[in-house]
Amino acid sequence: MQQKIVLVTGKGGVGKSSVAAGLALKEARKGRRVLLAELGERSYFSELLPSGPMEISYQAKAIESGLELVKWDGESCLKEYLFHYIPIRRVVDLFFENPVMKALVQAAPALKELAILGKATSGKRNVGPAFDYDVVVVDSYATGHFQALVRAPQGMAEAIGFGPMGEQSRSIERWICDPEFCQIVIVALPEELPVVEALELSESVQADLGQKVEFVLNKVWPKTWRAEDIQALGRLQSLEWPQGLSDFREVLAQSLGQQCQYLDQLSTRGRVHSLPWLLEPSSWGLLKSLSQQLEDL
């Protein structure tokens, strides 16, 4: 099987981590070797693993058969990149301990983002340690920071077009623009702001990477509930509706109508997968159930 990476993004709180984990669990169930990579400082999954709390760091840890979990931060990815060229740990550590270099790494736009995408594509580019997963699912940044992430290779290639940095930036860019290798999934809720943000992001991804995205509309009401049916209930004279319930019926009918509109709007720009709003008391149980619903993604 060809290696592939899936970058999961969307507005804050829409279910990016849940969808990323659901996708990773689905692939692992099929017998594939899967890496679920979290970006950022804090791990979302470390507290909800079925085996109890576990520290998630830069070294991948096996959490289920076929599934490993890792947390990538820009600095660790950059350290590994430098170590590839200067294979003396002390020299690399000294570089990062140097206050000028430290400030440069913090301030240089796109350097950490480039290092993260460098890590994600390292298997394809044969750079650094072995990276032989079948599927890498990245629980990525929310919309704005995600745009900065995927623009980093092109930006860096334009800024430093020469030497290994320019060469690697161009090669990372080529891989993330390849739809056979890199898939971009935007998660939204059936609400106005997340949908508008998802549509805008899909346009910018198309412009920056030439890639078509896939959408996940998360927490949708069951498809068998139709707005017309709910509204028709209100016209049944024989039913005496208490005020609270009749308000709820109106709100529900409206939400169902809007949900259909959002599905239509998103489907003009890419394939849309709906995920139901699941009532699952256990967090890991929820992720397992979501993975069953993501079969076609």
Ligand X SMILES: Nc1ncnc2c1ncn2[C@@H]1O[C@H](COP(=O)(O)OP(=O)(O)OP(=O)(O)O)[C@@H](O)[C@H]1O
Does position 48 interact with ligand X (CB under 6 A)? The reply is no
**Which of 13, 50, 109, 129 contacts ligand X by CB under 6 A?**
13
Choosing from 17, 143, 168, 259, the residue that interacts with Mg ion (CB under 5 A) is: 17
Instruction: Return the closest-CA partner of residue 41 out of 8, 80, 71.
Output: 71
Q: How many other C-beta atoms lie within 10 A of the C-beta of residue 251?
A: 11
Of the candidate residues 7, 14, 23, 25, the single one contacting ligand X (CB under 6 A) = 14
Count CB neighbours of 283 within 10 A.
Answer: 16
Strand order in the sheet with 67-72: 61-64, 67-72, 34-39, 135-139, 4-10, 182-188, 214-220, 271-276
Smallest separation (angstroms) from Mg ion to the CB of 139 = 6
Contact present, 75 and 105 (Cβ < 8 Å): yes
- Could you say whether residue 219 binds ligand X (CB under 6 A)? yes
How is residue 186 annotated by DSSP?
E
Report the nearest approach of ligand X to the CB of residue 280 (Å). 7
Count the Cβ atoms, other than its own, within 10 Å of residue 257.
14
Report the site for ligand X in 266-295 (rule: CB under 6 A): 275, 277-278, 283, 286, 290
| Residue among 214, 205, 203 at smallest CA distance from 23 | 214
Q: Does residue 18 belong to the site contacting Mg ion (CB under 5 A)? A: no
Q: What is the distance between the alpha carbons of residues 115 and 78, in angstroms, rounded to a whole number?
A: 5
Please state the closest distance from residue 256 (CB atom) to ligand X, in A. 17
Select from 13-21, 92-100, 175-183, 260-268 the region that touches ligand X (CB under 6 A): 13-21
Residue of 15, 66, 153, 190 that binds ligand X (CB under 6 A): 15
Output Rg (C-alpha) for the chain, integer angstroms: 22
Q: Would you say 142 or 230 has its CB closer to ligand X? A: 142
The distance of closest approach from Cβ of residue 136 to ligand X in the complex, given in angstroms and rounded to an integer, is 17
Contacts with ligand X by CB under 6 A lie at 12-18, 44, 142, 218-219, 275, 277-278, 283, 286, 290
Contacts with Mg ion by CB under 5 A lie at 16-17, 44
